[in-house]
Amino acid sequence: MKGKMKAIIKRESKPGAELTEVDIPRISPNEVLVNVKVASICGTDVHIYKWNEWAQNRIKPPLIIGHEFAGEVVEVGTNVKSLKVGDFVSAETHIPCNQCFQCKTGKQHICKNVSILGVDINGVFADYVALPEVCAWKNSEKIPFEFASVQEPLGNSVYATLEGGGVTGKKVAIFGCGPIGLFAAGVARVSGASEIISIGKHEFRMEIAKKMGADHILKYPDDDIMKLITEITGGEGVDVVLEMTGSQDAINQGLTVLKKGGRFTAFGIPSGKVEIDLANGIIFKGANIVGISGRKMFDTWYRVAGLLESKRIDISPVITHKFPLEEFRKGFELMMSKERKAAKILLFP
């Protein structure tokens, strides 16, 4: 398709991003062109916007940012077999190589040569995106566009919450009240967790955790988290810790409140090295440690779609703001504000 489109582009190696007009991308034989209907802002986009150390090392401007979205296929590459014009799609943002050991043994989500949409190749904060067929996910018409747009982060929560033995009848502590921690409270609720303890820093988001199904809301650093969790669990500790902050304190607390033989799921990415008490936190506890990167392709996607299609989970409390794409700065400002009075923010091109 020829013509111009609007896009949010990181043009230079410095903080910020700009709305600009660029050519509609040409697709290769293995790609489809998708008209973006709605996109959502992820923590990764905020890192790129702020231009933190990770972004400085990883991002090569100019780049159209954004990777969470839903849209409609308007053009199909000559080799593409699984999609047609008019299909309603979202994307797995990890684009696997399909050649490495991991890809060939069913672990595409940890592909050794992964490239990421909106990080390594042009993303979705635009009218159109050229999407590789290998990471396109066809949505059911039953799922509203706005919910379809956040399946990627919801998938993180589904994968993290359920991998390594599920949560049915178990006590779960979720460290972190960002969107993924909030979704995780909902996933734990609909999966039958017996007790859900959400630990967060920001009042606004902790209210959402309650709506998503958390039974107990603990505030960091004001509350005595160790003592309260010990009380809630009758001195036993929790069966499952979902660590979604990456902070040293939360990791220490999580390993301390974990029941012997319990599961510690690591998802939050620390900004540097962290120290852990390996002997008492893991070895003597016989703890199961589960690392979560991305979403299982495509096992997680089927589960997410199942939860949304059946309306088993209501994720609407997590979607707090909607802006036209032109007003993207408002969204980024909210995501970076001290009080974090936002969770998932949608942008409409």
Active site residue 44: yes
Active site residue 230: no
Residue given tokens 């942008």 in the structure block: 347
Burial per residue of 4-40, b for 16 or more beta-carbon CB atoms within 10 angstroms, e otherwise: ebbbbbbeeeeeebeeeebebbebeeebbbbbbbbbb
Select the residue interacting with Zn ion from 33, 111, 129, 150 (CB under 5 A): 111
Select the residue interacting with Zn ion from 97, 190, 228, 276 (CB under 5 A): 97
Nearest of 136, 214, 204, 142 to residue 181 by alpha carbon: 214
Minimum CB distance to Zn ion, residue 41 (Å): 9
Minimum CB distance to Zn ion, residue 62 (Å): 21
Looking at the DSSP assignment, which residues form a beta bridge with residue 325?
none
Q: Return the range that interacts with Zn ion (CB under 5 A); candidates 24-32, 123-131, 149-157, 337-345.
A: 149-157
Distance CA 285, CA 199 (A): 22
Of the pair 111, 136, the CB lying nearest Zn ion is at: 111
Choice among 20, 44, 105, 233 that is catalytic: 44
Minimum CB distance to Zn ion, residue 152 (Å): 5
Determine, following the binding rule CB under 5 A, whether residue 100 of this chain makes contact with Zn ion. yes
Of the pair 42, 172, the CB lying nearest Zn ion is at: 42
Determine, following the binding rule CB under 5 A, whether residue 110 of this chain makes contact with Zn ion. no
For residues 25 to 54, the per-residue mask of contacts with Zn ion, x marking binding by CB under 5 A and - elsewhere, is -----------------x------------
Contact between 346 and 36 under an 8 Å Cβ cutoff? The reply is no
Choice among 47, 67, 202, 321 that is catalytic: 47
For residues 113 to 132, the per-residue mask of contacts with Zn ion, x marking binding by CB under 5 A and - elsewhere, is x-------------------
Q: Return the range that interacts with Zn ion (CB under 5 A); candidates 63-71, 158-166, 240-248, 289-297.
A: 63-71
Kindly report the three-state secondary structure assignment for every residue of the chain. Answer: CCCEEEEEEECCCCCCCEEEEEECCCCCCCEEEEEEEEEECCHHHHHHHHCCHHHHHHCCCCEECCCEEEEEEEEECCCCCCCCCCCEEEECCEECCCCCHHHHCCCHHHCCCCEEECCCECCCCECEEEEEHHHEEECCCCCCHHHHCCHHHHHHHHHHHHCCCCCCCCEEEEECCCHHHHHHHHHHHHCCCCEEEEEECCHHHHHHHHHHCCCEEEECCCCCHHHHHHHHCCCCCEEEEEECCCCHHHHHHHHHHEEEEEEEEECCCCCCCCCCCHHHHHHCCCCEEEECCCCCCCHHHHHHHHHHHCCCCCCHHHEEEEEEHHHHHHHHHHHHCCCCCCCEEEEEC
Minimum CB distance to Zn ion, residue 42 (Å): 3
Q: Return the range that interacts with Zn ion (CB under 5 A); candidates 150-158, 186-194, 225-233, 334-342.
A: 150-158
Determine, following the binding rule CB under 5 A, whether residue 65 of this chain makes contact with Zn ion. no
Count of residues that interact with Zn ion, criterion CB under 5 A = 9
Minimum CB distance to Zn ion, residue 199 (Å): 22
Select the residue interacting with Zn ion from 103, 158, 187, 217 (CB under 5 A): 103
Of the pair 97, 121, the CB lying nearest Zn ion is at: 97
Q: Return the range that interacts with Zn ion (CB under 5 A); candidates 8-16, 58-66, 108-116, 220-228.
A: 108-116
Minimum CB distance to Zn ion, residue 118 (Å): 8
Determine, following the binding rule CB under 5 A, whether residue 190 of this chain makes contact with Zn ion. no
Q: Return the range that interacts with Zn ion (CB under 5 A); candidates 109-117, 193-201, 202-210, 253-261.
A: 109-117
Residues lying near Zn ion in the complex (CB under 5 A) are found at: 42, 68, 96-97, 100, 103, 111, 113, 152
- Which residues are catalytic, by number? 44, 47
